[in-house]
Chains A and B, each alone.
Chain A
Amino acid sequence: MFTQGIAGAIPKMRSGETSGAMTDDPERFEELVREHQAMVFSMACRYLRNRALAEEIAQDVFLQLYRKLPSLESSEHVLHWLRWVTAHRLIDHSRQEKRRPQSPLEDAGEPVAADSTGNADPLLSEMLRDLVASLPENARVVMILRYQEDLDPMDIARALDMPIATVKSHLQRSLALLREQLSRTKGVGL
């Protein structure tokens, strides 16, 4: 179910959304890129742990959006479409990567980002990013949508066309795994 084709599988507008097809007007497209680039790039970056590759995939997703734009019906539809396509692009990418041998340089993670929140422990954040990136593909994308996009399980299920029970199960198992890994490696109890 999760791996079904993108065409036709993306849910249409929810009730109450404004209708009217999006145009492929360049200025409108630029606005959409600026509005959603952080979301698409961050999903890719957290999933892949490689900034260059994340930018490349995000760029592809936006070019695909440009071609698809006239058939999308609203800003909400665009957001939903972007989440769907990015998630599937990332999963497809990591499945392809598994099939081909990698060079050590490609395995190198991204540099540690400076922590702008001031509250979080940068080392713990880095460790958590690494642990999330080591989760299985579907669980990883579920965790990213939950904690990066702050979606609840119902929205994640809708965004990925996945049963809600599967989403909850991925979340529970991933959190348990992260707690276990953290307590094992750093003795951090969260």
Chain B
Amino acid sequence: MNLDDELRAALRREDPAPDFTQRVLAGRVVARAKATHQSNRPIFRMAWAAAVAALLIIGLTATYEVRQMKAERAGRDAVLALRIAADKLNSAREKVVRLEN
């Protein structure tokens, strides 16, 4: 045999391990899942941002409502206190008027 033939024989094609095809196909599935995961990332990020924004709005609204309720209650308490004070003053004035007469 000449060198060309010897080289053809030495460098002839050889099959990989029997499970090679299955490993490639499994790798394809993993690569596909990764690609899907990566392509879904913007959606996940947007959903996350929307959820954070919604929570923020709910929190601020609740805080505002609580403060509003406290202010209203304080106002009512102040009006009640003024009424009580006015009643006391009125009864004191009536006593003074009675003593003078």
Residues on A lying within 8 angstroms of B by beta carbon are: 26, 29-30, 33-34, 37-39, 41-42, 45-46, 51, 54-55, 58-59, 62-63, 66-67, 113, 115, 117, 119-121, 124-126, 128-129, 132, 143-144, 146-148, 150, 175, 178-179, 182, 190
Contact = CB atoms under 8 A, between A and B. Distances in A.
Contacts, number: 102
Contacts of A46: 11
B10 interface: yes
B10 A120 contact: yes
B11 A147 contact: yes
Given A42-B13, A42-B14, A125 B23 contact: no
A105 B13 CA distance: 25
Nearest to A118: B9
A175 B1 contact: no
Given A37-B20, A58-B20, A128 B11 contact: yes
14 contacts: A30-B21, A41-B14, A42-B13, A55-B16, A58-B16, A59-B27, A63-B31, A125-B6, A129-B10, A147-B11, A148-B13, A178-B7, A179-B3, A182-B3
Contact of B20 (A26, A41, A115, A126): A41
Nearest to A43: B13
Given A29-B25, A120-B10, A190-B1, 5 more contacts: A37-B24, A38-B15, A124-B6, A124-B10, A147-B10
Interface of B: 1-17, 20-21, 23-25, 27-28, 31
Given A59-B27, A62-B24, A38 B8 contact: no
A144 B13 CA distance: 10
B23 A59 contact: yes
A33 B21 contact: yes
What are the 9 closest A-B residue pairs judged by CB atoms, nearest first?
A: A120-B9, A125-B10, A128-B10, A190-B3, A41-B16, A147-B7, A148-B11, A147-B11, A42-B13
A45 B11 CA distance: 10
A129 B14 CA distance: 13
B67 to A, nearest CB: 57
